[in-house]
């Protein structure tokens, strides 16, 4: 079993073998049924992938961001839904609890997440507040010895199966980002319900839901960090999450490239060979940028801009390569259930999730221009 000191190559080999055994043969069924088999989830826990990047002190499996990126890419090569489920659990739930929780919260929430006994979710987006993270309307108030939350969250991954949901709410919308706090919401909390599970174009099998908080009551120790620090916690989690999602997009791009290459011959029409060459260049660029973002995160350097670049380019590469795969396959590539068709649908979601393409461009532009005093909600 790889440990804290194991190189990312060992994790990649382990994930490659796991995908070959548990994921590749299930990918079409996962997509068709829009459900991850319990056997796959149990196997992920058994292999300790749910504890990747988390220290052994809290029952984690060790490894760093480069290890996590390698595992997510290999899993996404087999099934994007499997990889995204793990990426959300690690990047935007378990990791923030590790970084911002106290020891009692790590004991209560992080240990079972790291062991894979519970799956983590992240609830920031709302029906009327997507890219503008500071515009939340889900409210919280202090009552007795705890908090009461009321509102709705939309497009929440893993919420059906989640053991813990990291949820963000505002004390008063007029306070802007200063009013937002983060809370760890355990499964079974009274007043919490899944209003609907969304039927998606791609990433089918990865749960996406509307989560309703109807006077959900949480004890005081569910507050993550300090009151008013929620937006800072959320944006930090999203930066790390973008590296993970970029790795998932990279895995889909690699699978689409291999499918495309299998469809092209040296004596084929020029346009097919040109598509293959461009796909290779797009894939190589995305891989280098994802590796750079992960390496910067591991070495403690600023990586928010690099995470946005990696997510932007890897998402575009996945869509472009998968689209070429459908074009080259022709009519066969448009048939429901074909690998080319499924990969294209999966790829098409990546420019939207974890911050749209337009938001990544705004983040990049902001990092390249002189600073201003305007609030930064992304």
pLDDT above 80: residue 78:
yes
Domain boundary among 168, 202, 227: 227
Do the bridges between strand 146-157 and strand 208-219 make them parallel or antiparallel, or are there none, so unpaired? antiparallel
- Pair 153, 241 in one domain: no
Over its C-alpha atoms, the chain yields an Rg (Å, rounded) of 20
Distance CA 213, CA 101 (A): 22
- Pair 66, 175 in one domain: no
295 flagged as catalytic: no
Mean local confidence (pLDDT), 91-96: 98
- Pair 104, 29 in one domain: yes
Distance CA 211, CA 125 (A): 10
pLDDT digits (tens, 9 = 90+) for 48-63: 999 999 999 999 999 9
CATH number of the domain where residue 24 is located: 1.10.540.10
- Catalytic option among 26, 47, 126, 354: 354
Residues in CB range of 22: below 8 A, 6 or more apart: 39, 40, 43
1 band by pLDDT with thresholds 50, 70 and 90: very low
- Pair 113, 148 in one domain: no
139 band by pLDDT with thresholds 50, 70 and 90: very high
pLDDT digits (tens, 9 = 90+) for 210-261: 999 999 999 999 999 999 999 999 999 999 999 999 999 999 999 999 999 9
Give the three-state DSSP class for 300.
Answer: coil
Which residue range(s) make up the domain with 237? 231-368
Structure tokens at 275: 């598509």
Name the percent of the chain lying above pLDDT 70. 95
Q: Is residue 57 part of a domain?
A: yes
Give the pLDDT confidence score for residue 370 in this predicted structure: 86
Give the pLDDT confidence score for residue 135 in this predicted structure: 79
Higher pLDDT, 135 or 241: 241
DSSP string, 79-129: -HHHHHHHHHHIIIIIHHHHHH--HHHIIIIIHHHHHTSSEEEEE--BTTB
Backbone angles phi, psi at 122, to 5 degrees: -140, 120
Q: Is residue 301 part of a domain?
A: yes
Beta carbons of 218 and 142 less than 8 angstroms apart: no
Mean local confidence (pLDDT), 197-222: 96
Mean of per-residue pLDDT scores for the chain: 94
pLDDT digits (tens, 9 = 90+) for 296-346: 999 999 999 999 999 999 999 999 999 999 999 999 999 998 999 999 999
């Amino acid at each position: 079993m790889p440990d804290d000191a194991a190189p990312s190559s060992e994790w990649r080999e382990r994930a490659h073998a796991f995908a070959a055994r548990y994921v590749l043969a299930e990918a079409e069924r996962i997509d068709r049924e829009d459900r991850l088999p319990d056997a796959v989830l149990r196997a992920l826990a058994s292999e300790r992938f749910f504890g990747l990047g988390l220290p052994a002190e809290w029952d984690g499996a060790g490894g760093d961001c480069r290890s996590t990126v390698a595992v997510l890419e290999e899993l996404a090569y087999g099934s994007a839904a499997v990889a995204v489920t793990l990426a959300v659990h690690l990047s935007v739930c378990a990791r923030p609890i590790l970084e911002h929780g106290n020891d009692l919260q790590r004991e209560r929430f992080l240990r079972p997440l790291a062991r894979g006994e519970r799956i983590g979710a992240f609830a920031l987006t709302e029906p009327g507040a997507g890219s503008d993270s500071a515009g939340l309307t889900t409210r919280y108030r202090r009552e007795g010895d705890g908090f009461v939350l009321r509102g709705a969250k939309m497009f929440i991954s893993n919420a059906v199966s989640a053991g813990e949901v990291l949820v963000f709410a505002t004390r008063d919308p007029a306070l802007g980002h200063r009013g937002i706090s983060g809370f760890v919401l355990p499964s079974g909390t009274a007043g919490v319900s899944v209003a609907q599970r969304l039927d998606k174009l791609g990433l089918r099998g990865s749960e996406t839901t509307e989560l309703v908080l109807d006077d959900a009551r949480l004890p005081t120790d569910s507050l993550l960090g300090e009151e008013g620090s929620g937006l800072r916690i959320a944006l930090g989690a999203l930066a790390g999450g973008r590296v993970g999602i970029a790795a998932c997009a990279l895995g889909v791009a690699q699978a689409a490239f291999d499918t495309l290459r299998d469809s092209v011959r040296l004596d084929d029409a020029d346009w097919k060979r040109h598509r293959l060459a461009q796909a290779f260049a797009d894939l190589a660029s995305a891989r280098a940028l994802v590796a750079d973002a992960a390496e910067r995160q591991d070495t403690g350097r600023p990586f928010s801009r690099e995470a946005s670049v990696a997510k932007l380019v890897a998402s575009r590469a996945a869509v472009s390569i998968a689209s070429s795969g459908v074009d080259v396959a022709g009519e066969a590539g448009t048939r429901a259930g074909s690998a080319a068709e499924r990969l294209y649908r999966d790829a098409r979601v990546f420019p939207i999730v974890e911050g749209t393409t337009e938001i990544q461009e705004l983040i990049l532009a902001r990092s390249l221009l002189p600073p201003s005093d305007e609030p930064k909600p992304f």
